[in-house]
Chain A
Amino acid sequence: MALLVALCLGSAGARAGEFVVRSAATGLVNQVHVLDADIDFKFSERALTALANGVPLTLRMHITIERERDWLPDQQVAELTQRYEIQYHALSGLHVLTNLNSGASEVYLTLHSALRALGDVRALPVIDDNLLEPGAHYLIAMQVDLDIEALPSPLRPFAYITPAWWLSSDWYTWSLRP
């Protein structure tokens, strides 16, 4: 218990991380609404230390599309979660960024370049235009966070009680009218 308290207190002084969705917008390309977004990923010191020690970090990008209705609660039309894993490869000194949804990996010389590539979302297909009702109002929300459940199990109890591990952006929302 003392250990737990010490770890928690220690975390209070550590550099806080921050995820911010700077901008996000959708555009129609070949009858598919695609997402362009700029996201800043700034890890906390604790997360950076873990990454440097070979702990893979999983980031999630949540996107929801809800139809706004006048007299009824909003109806969720679609929900999309993109999961990315970033891991330090000690032998090559590279950071490997893997899209867990597709399995595609990219390697980056620095963490910074990897996070910048991750935050530079371009033409991510979100929803087919046919699934949307023309003229209706839709609300798209987006959020990115660190998946604590993907951390090694011994680290999870700490992560749940340590603010340094609570890395999450606010929901960024915008309207869409097909």
Chain B
Amino acid sequence: MVVATLKRLTAGPRPVAVVLLLLLASLYLMSAATQNSAQFSRVYSLLLALNGTALLLLVALIVRNLVNLLGQYRRRAPGARLTLRLVVMFVMLAVAPVSVVYYFSVQFLQRGIDSWFDVRVERALEDALELGRTALDSRLSESLQFTRQLAIEFIGAPESVAALKLDEVRRQGNALEMTLLTGQGRVLASSSADPTDIVPSMPNLAVLLQLRQGMDYAALEPTAGGLQVRVVVPVTEGLSSEPKLLLAIYPINERLSSLGESVQAAFGQYKELAYLRQPLKFSFTLTLSLVLLLSILSAVWAAFFSARRLVAPIRDLAEGTRAVAAGDYDLRLPLPGRDEIGFLVRSFNEMTRKIALSHERANRSQRQVEAQRAYLETVLAHLSSGVLTVAADGSIRTSNRAAAQILGLGPSTFDGASLSDLAVAHVRLAALIDTLGRFLGREEGEWHAEVTLFGPAGRQILICHGSPLPDGGDMRGGQVIVFDDVTALIQAQRDAAWGEVARRLAHEIKNPLTPIQLSAERLRRKYLDRMSPEDAEVLNRATHTIVQQVEAMKEMVKAFSEYAHAPAVRLAPMDLNVLVTEVAELYRGDTRMHINLALAPRLHYVEADAMRMRQLLHNLLKNALEAAPAERTVEVKVSTTYSDTGCEHVELLVEDDGPGIPEALLGRLFEPYVTSKPRGTGLGLAIVKKIVEEHGGMLSAQNRPGGGAAVSVRLPIGSQDCAARLARQLQERRA
């Protein structure tokens, strides 16, 4: 806190301006001291040292600034070049005029000081001094002469008398003070005009020495009160006695004294000033030089400061532009002022604020989009329906987990894949891809399609719902496809429907059949013998027909019940070729049908229920036989083949040379009671279809080009993966 306050107070131009003002004041004081102003003279050296130190500090400050600036210039820092240029310009502008002023000032100073001194003035002062001396010398001589005469009066006088006489003599001689001393300077008697002055004025050692040498002492002495005459003369009494001294102090006429002091003061000052002429010149020049240096250095510093102040906002702008370019939109530049640069900086700040706002909005929108996307992905991920979005070019953009699961693909199969890639990598998806391909590029209308796939899990029925993607972006012409695996559902619905039919048949049809049959037989037993032969013949034929048809209906109901209530499938690996061979062997003796086998060698085992497969083959052969006219032998070809297109499977193909399948029945050939044959229950192919579906296989029928029909049964190979999926699917279907 304190450090921050100090830093704030010492930063900026204010403290330096204050220091410069103080320096200026200090220089003023120095200048005053140079003129021997008593007030500032005492601190002259201190001021000189202070100013010198301050200037050195200023120089150091400028050097530091210069080094920094040169460093920035070398680093090509923003604004350094402009700052340097401004500094050079400012310095040139400041130094040139100040230097000129300095030169002329020094010249004027030298001449000005020289003009203080004039030989005539000096001469006049010397003459005045000489005049004063002459005037005072006469007074001095008079005083000496008078004192000598007084001294005679003390010759031989005892000390007690001398003391009394001294006061009288002093009054007589109009002296300020008179003292009688021994030769050693001991006071014998003293008299003073000032009663308060009890300590007599004593001659100093030099005076005593002079007197011992027999010389009188007479001198004009300056005192605080003015000039006075001091005279000391020996009082000679004889060689035997101790010499005495008479000291007398006489006043000088007040007028003469003040004039003398005035002359002395003027002469002394002039003499001193003349002596100090060179030092004065030097001192003034020194002060002037310091002022010059202060001005120049201040100007240089001000140049640095001003240049920095001028360039700072420009540099800030440059750095701000870089920051914005780097994506930092929160930067706000300090406002330099209300000038044009300030307006520019304000505009920049406004611009970055708006960019930051837009950026924030964009970010918020992006976050919302991402949240929605995450939401959609979560929804998609937990949908049981498969969802795919496909662009117009066939590339898959979005998929969910269910899509891959339904299609039996890995979770990342759709990543970056396209429909064409999928078609190549997964041939079994061809039907789906073809369907999708038909609708790609359509921009209007929803569509629905049922697609049947034959994959590793066997036959799979997909219900697809498609819709064009909304316009915008690169998804124009794309489609969103939602598909469900309805294989199990359809199977369950059919099972349920046929179960219900079987239950109703058993209840509504089978139950009345027995009473009908019994009633017919009873009629026959009771009335056949009693009737005439003609009537008996009719009754016999009618009851026989009734019993026969009831039996037929019972068979039919039984078969249908078997269809509806098929036993549980028991899967086990089996060789289809063996089964086909065994069944064909049963028909070897049948003259109505000739079976040709075309079995693939080393056929893979399939997971299947042998009993149900046997029934399937019987039904197909029986269907071929019943479809053909009774008068000729039916040629039936049974072939087995292996294929690995999409998923490994075994195909059982039964072809006949019969009349073929009517076009009207092709679509629903495998539904119950759809038949064109005069014989049969109409459930043969329905049971075949049911068995195939129970094994996860696929059944198809078509007419052969040369006549006759061909029924194809494709069963998945019992690989571990296929078998596991098959079993799981079958269990689900049963459930």
Q: Which residues of A come within 8 Å of B, CB atoms?
A: 3-4, 7, 49-50, 53-55, 89-94, 96, 105-110, 113-114, 116-117, 120, 148-149, 152-158, 160
Min C-beta distance of A158 to chain B, whole Å:
5
Residues of B1-53 contacting chain A, CB below 8 A? 33-34, 36, 40-42, 44-45, 48
Q: Which residues of A contact B279 (CB under 8 A)?
A: 152, 154-155, 157-158
A54 to B36, CA, bound (A): 14
Q: Which residues of B contact A160 (CB under 8 A)?
A: 45
Question: Which 9 pairs from chain A and chain B are nearest by CB?
Answer: A53-B275, A153-B44, A113-B206, A154-B283, A91-B264, A154-B279, A54-B268, A54-B272, A92-B220
Min C-beta distance of B259 to chain A, whole Å:
10
Which of A49, A90, A114, A120 has a CB less than 8 Å from the CB of B268?
A90
Q: Which residues of B contact A96 (CB under 8 A)?
A: 222
What 19 new A-B contacts, CB under 8 Å, besides A96-B222, A154-B282, A155-B276?
A4-B282, A7-B278, A49-B275, A53-B272, A53-B275, A89-B222, A90-B264, A91-B220, A92-B222, A106-B204, A113-B206, A117-B204, A117-B206, A152-B36, A153-B33, A153-B283, A157-B282, A157-B286, A158-B282
Q: List 24 A-B contacts (CB under 8 A).
A: A7-B278, A49-B275, A50-B275, A53-B271, A53-B272, A55-B275, A89-B222, A91-B132, A91-B227, A91-B260, A91-B263, A92-B221, A92-B222, A96-B222, A105-B223, A109-B206, A110-B206, A113-B206, A114-B206, A149-B45, A155-B276, A156-B45, A157-B279, A158-B282
Q: Which residues of A contact B261 (CB under 8 A)?
A: 91
Residues of B372-406 contacting chain A, CB below 8 A? none
CB <8 Å contact, A157 and B263: no
Closest to A92 in B: B220
Tell me if B269 counts as interface (CB < 8 A to partner A). yes
CB <8 Å contact, A54 and B269: yes
A50 to B281, CA, bound (A): 16
Residues of B195-230 contacting chain A, CB below 8 A? 204-206, 210, 219-223, 227
Min C-beta distance of A125 to chain B, whole Å:
18
Q: Which residues of A contact B205 (CB under 8 A)?
A: 117, 120
Q: Is the interface of B mostly helix, strand, loop or mixed?
A: helix
CB <8 Å contact, B44 and A156: yes
Which of A55, A89, A114, A157 has a CB less than 8 Å from the CB of B283?
A157
Tell me if B563 counts as interface (CB < 8 A to partner A). no
Which of A3, A50, A116 has a CB less than 8 Å from the CB of B206?
A116
Q: Which residues of B contact A93 (CB under 8 A)?
A: 133
Q: Which residues of B contact A153 (CB under 8 A)?
A: 33-34, 36, 40-41, 44, 283
CB <8 Å contact, A90 and B36: no
Count contacts between A and B, CB distance < 8 Å: 106
CB <8 Å contact, A107 and B286: no
CB <8 Å contact, A94 and B45: no
Q: Which residues of A contact B653 (CB under 8 A)?
A: none
A94 to B295, CA, bound (A): 48
Which of A7, A53, A91, A105 has a CB less than 8 Å from the CB of B129?
A91
A158 to B286, CA, bound (A): 11
CB <8 Å contact, B276 and A154: yes
A117 to B36, CA, bound (A): 30
Min C-beta distance of B645 to chain A, whole Å:
110
Tell me if B94 counts as interface (CB < 8 A to partner A). no
Tell me if B331 counts as interface (CB < 8 A to partner A). no
Tell me if B250 counts as interface (CB < 8 A to partner A). no
CB <8 Å contact, B267 and A55: no
A158 to B281, CA, bound (A): 12
Known: A108-B204, A117-B204, A153-B36. A90 touches B222 (CB 8 A): no
Closest to B272 in A: A54
Min C-beta distance of A111 to chain B, whole Å:
11
Which of B136, B206, B220, B280 has a CB less than 8 Å from the CB of A108?
B206
Q: Which residues of B contact A117 (CB under 8 A)?
A: 204-206
Q: Which residues of B contact A92 (CB under 8 A)?
A: 136, 219-222, 227
Q: Which residues of A contact B70 (CB under 8 A)?
A: none
Tell me if B492 counts as interface (CB < 8 A to partner A). no
CB <8 Å contact, A152 and B206: no
Closest to B285 in A: A3
Min C-beta distance of A151 to chain B, whole Å:
9
Tell me if B274 counts as interface (CB < 8 A to partner A). yes
A154 to B271, CA, bound (A): 15
A4 to B223, CA, bound (A): 38
Q: Which residues of B contact A106 (CB under 8 A)?
A: 204
Which of A4, A90, A108, A109 has a CB less than 8 Å from the CB of B271?
A90
Min C-beta distance of A54 to chain B, whole Å:
4
Min C-beta distance of B45 to chain A, whole Å:
6
CB <8 Å contact, B34 and A154: yes
Q: Which residues of A contact B45 (CB under 8 A)?
A: 148-149, 156, 160
